[in-house]
Structure 1
Amino acid sequence: MLDAADTRKSTAAAWFRELRDRITSAFEGLEDAGAPGPFETLEPGRFDVSETRRDAGDGTDAGGGIMSVMRGGRVFEKVGVNWSEVHGTLAPRAQKAMAARGVPGMEDDPRFWASGISLVAHMRNPHVPAVHMNTRMFWTPHAWWFGGGADLNPCLEYDEDTAHFHGQMQAACDAHGSLDGQDRYAKLKAWADEYFFVPHRGRARGVGGIFYDDLNTGDWDADFAFTRDVGAHFLPAFQPLVEKRRAQPWSEADKDVQLTHRGLYAEYNLVYDRGTKFGLETGHNADAVLMSLPPEAKWH
């Protein structure tokens, strides 16, 4: 019989996997609908799906996940939608980082469990924005929390697209009231603006969205419900932008701007992204961790 913690873990992991299934189906539907222009004669893109396994370091199984990557589609040049459920003991470096973040008991008991979905899409048409989304749950014997968010990364910005995306993120937040005595959307938007800033370039990675981590209000059901809403609002936030922009004519100059912006995206993910660092430090499949990198990028 599962205890309360195991029930929560299995419930969260199943939700993240269902969300992964829903999104990959929708993205393949966008491929089927086509993208008039230079890629309309290509076959609709499909996800290459493979299982990943995590080795605890001593040959024992420590969970794994599903890596789903589509390359060379008519609409998506490269998109990854990964789901994972892993467990084990944190390596000393990751253990130290968690302890520094205030995770209780981490100095003495570095066991952990984590599950989530992670998505990054790089698009064919420079007018269609790249996008990132993830939601996750993390557990230790002494604590649990949720994290996640979504942010839009256009190379060619449209104010109405930004407003639409943020409107959906705000709707996800507004359904759950204030957080720490603050307006939830305003707090998480500001957090995203800070988190997705690229210090060495002195600019944001994109036009933002929402971001949160270490979410534990003491009410697991409420925090999980909010995390589910963040995931559920992703497709309504992003899919209409794809449908609106995928047939818009673009020039070689537009493509150059896109490739240069992808360089900025790659720099951020390799230097600053907390999820990239955690995935590599805990021994997860490197291809799955680095699926966020664009297929092509450029630096001037």
Structure 2
Amino acid sequence: MDKQQIAERYKILQDEICRGLEALDGGSTFVEELWQREGGGGGRTRIIQNGSFIERGGVNFSAVHGVLPEQIKNAFQVDDEDFFATGVSIVIHPNNPFVPIIHMNIRYFELNEKVRWFGGGIDLTPHYIQLDDASYFHRQLKNICDRYSSSFYAEFKAFADRYFYIKHRAETRGIGGIFYDRLTPEKTLVSWEDLFDFSCAVGDAFVPTYAELVNRNRHRTYTEQQKQWQYLRRGRYVEFNLVYDAGTKFGLETNGRIESILMSLPPHAQWMYDFKPEPDSDEAFTLSMLKGGVDWLAQ
């Protein structure tokens, strides 16, 4: 296993996920743009929009290398300068408020033989939290994690709860999922080969897991009021990505391609001054559940 093999497998994953999403949507296809990074490497940005359920989505692959900026060296607490990073990043914004936003990122980072790791995760951001959907989503993630380590799900679920937290709102971005970073055999007692396999297993699960949630909800009717709530929730998504998201910051600070970095933003979002949902409404219930530590498997 070397960095080029990892990058090639991630490219295959991008192809497979794009084909799966096109089949699931049935109304639109991806448009691809190839790009080169000044300083080393490049990627494939693929965007789909105005589909039967996807309003806008992106499935990006990148493999970049070059000199690590000083601020990233300080953040990683490393002295080496030459880095390699590859990964697949996905965000899907549906048009129906009852279909959740989904995000996935799998990545590999290397400075040298001793400083390298896997990172990534997958999380769900429902506009309306539905307990059966939340339980299903987390069960699928636990099943993947348990194939590699009995500790993975609890550890990575807790990490996601901490990471996908909008501090200035005192609420989580959604119902979380799993999030992990700097995975090595020393840290996990799992071999490099199995960590790579775990990373790919998360990617392989993306389409079937999301397809189940989409097909449960894609044909539900909704009101204009529910559409406006969706725009407000998208506003929270934007706030998190621009203020807290580490991948966005890394891309901007390493001279990444701005269009690819910001493909995670929705086509339409809204901010309303001091909005308060009606008591006992579905909107109020959703807000009440946006907190860390929820045992979604028990719902």
TM-score calculated relative to the size of structure 2 = 0.87
Look up the match of 2:38: 55
Structure 2 residue aligned with 1:213, among 162, 181, 190?
181
- Deviation track 1:83-113 (CA, whole Å, cap 9, x = no partner) reads 00000011111221111xxxxxx22x21100
Look up the match of 1:281: 253
1:284 to partner: Cα distance: 1.1
Q: Which runs of 4+ in 1 moved over 3 A?
A: none
Partner amino acid, structure 2, of 1:177: S
Look up the match of 1:39: none
Is residue 122 from structure 1 mapped to residue 74 from structure 2 by the alignment?
no
Partner amino acid, structure 1, of 2:138: H
Is residue 201 from structure 1 mapped to residue 192 from structure 2 by the alignment?
no
- 1:86 and 1:113 in contact (8 A); partners too: yes
- 1:53 and 1:284 in contact (8 A); partners too: no
- Deviation track 1:131-181 (CA, whole Å, cap 9, x = no partner) reads 000100000024110001100000011111111111111011000123xxx
- Deviation track 1:191-232 (CA, whole Å, cap 9, x = no partner) reads 000000100000000011000000011421121111111111
Is residue 269 from structure 1 mapped to residue 245 from structure 2 by the alignment?
no
Look up the match of 1:38: none
Look up the match of 2:23: 29
- 1:150 and 1:209 in contact (8 A); partners too: yes
Partner amino acid, structure 2, of 1:11: Q
Look up the match of 1:89: 67
Look up the match of 1:8: 2
SS state of the match for residue 51, structure 1?
strand
Look up the match of 1:98: 76
1:236 to partner: Cα distance: 2.2
Is residue 192 from structure 1 mapped to residue 160 from structure 2 by the alignment?
yes
Percent identity (aligned): 42
SS state of the match for residue 2, structure 2?
helix
SS state of the match for residue 55, structure 1?
coil
TM-score calculated relative to the size of structure 1 = 0.87
SS state of the match for residue 127, structure 1?
coil
- 1:91 and 1:282 in contact (8 A); partners too: yes
Stretches of structure 1 that go unaligned for 5 or more consecutive residues are: 1-6, 33-43, 57-61, 100-105
Q: What is the total number of aligned residue pairs between the two structures?
A: 267
Stretches of structure 2 that go unaligned for 5 or more consecutive residues are: 273-299
Structure 2 residue aligned with 1:77, among 55, 59, 71?
55
RMSD: 1.0
SS state of the match for residue 98, structure 2?
coil
